[in-house]
Amino acid sequence: MALPQPAQGQPGAAGRSDWATLRKLLPYLWRYRWRVGIALAFLLAAKMANVGVPLLLKELVDGLAIQPGSAVSLLVVPVGLIVAYGALRLSTTLFTELRELIFAKATEGTARIISLQVFRHLHALSLRFHLERQTGGMTRDIERAARARCTR
């Protein structure tokens, strides 16, 4: 399979939009569609929990204005709201980590497939290409890109 080339008139990746990049990556990610779907669900859950934190904090502060003479609400409301606040903060982190855990296999598998395609493409090029160009520099660039992807 040939590697996708940038459209004419565009200076490489700088001229591409995010949607064009997603369109090109979609066939590679399609084999991991269940993992991608679950990761998106975890992403949405993490965002919902993250949005809920300030709203619950508002309720916590408002709940501290307790009517005098109400002994039950003096203890139950603040403690309950603090526990709920802590649970929301924990769930934000939990859903984010679950998303990373589920999506890691899709990320690594897609990167592996694309790297193999680049490797096959370079080996399919003519000897003249390799003799006339500094392919060592190209190999170094590919290695750096793969290393940068793994450390993120």
| pLDDT tens by residue, 94-149 | 988 988 888 888 888 888 888 888 888 888 888 887 777 776 777 777 777 767 65
Q: Is 132 a member of any domain?
A: yes
C-alpha 127/C-alpha 133 separation (Å) is 10
Under the banding of pLDDT at 50, 70 and 90, the label for residue 10 is very low
Q: Please name which of 25, 2, 22, 24 lies closest in space to residue 109, comparing C-alpha atoms.
A: 25
Residue 90: give the domain boundaries.
Answer: 31-151
Q: Is 25 a member of any domain?
A: no
> Is 1 a residue whose pLDDT tops 80?
no
> Is 60 a residue whose pLDDT tops 60?
yes
Q: Is 11 a member of any domain?
A: no
Q: Is 3 a member of any domain?
A: no
C-alpha 134/C-alpha 125 separation (Å) is 13
What is the number of domains present in the chain?
Answer: 1
Q: Is 14 a member of any domain?
A: no
Give residue-wise pLDDT tens across range 64-91. 666 666 666 667 667 777 888 888 888 8
> Is 3 a residue whose pLDDT tops 70?
no
- Over pLDDT 90: what percentage of the chain? 1
C-alpha 107/C-alpha 123 separation (Å) is 24
Q: Is 127 a member of any domain?
A: yes
Under 8 Å between Cβ of 109 and 33: no
pLDDT at 148: 66
Under the banding of pLDDT at 50, 70 and 90, the label for residue 28 is confident
Contacts for 24 with CB less than 8 Å, ≥ 6 apart: 4
Q: Is 2 a member of any domain?
A: no
| Residue scoring higher pLDDT (65 or 17) | 17
Q: Is 53 a member of any domain?
A: yes
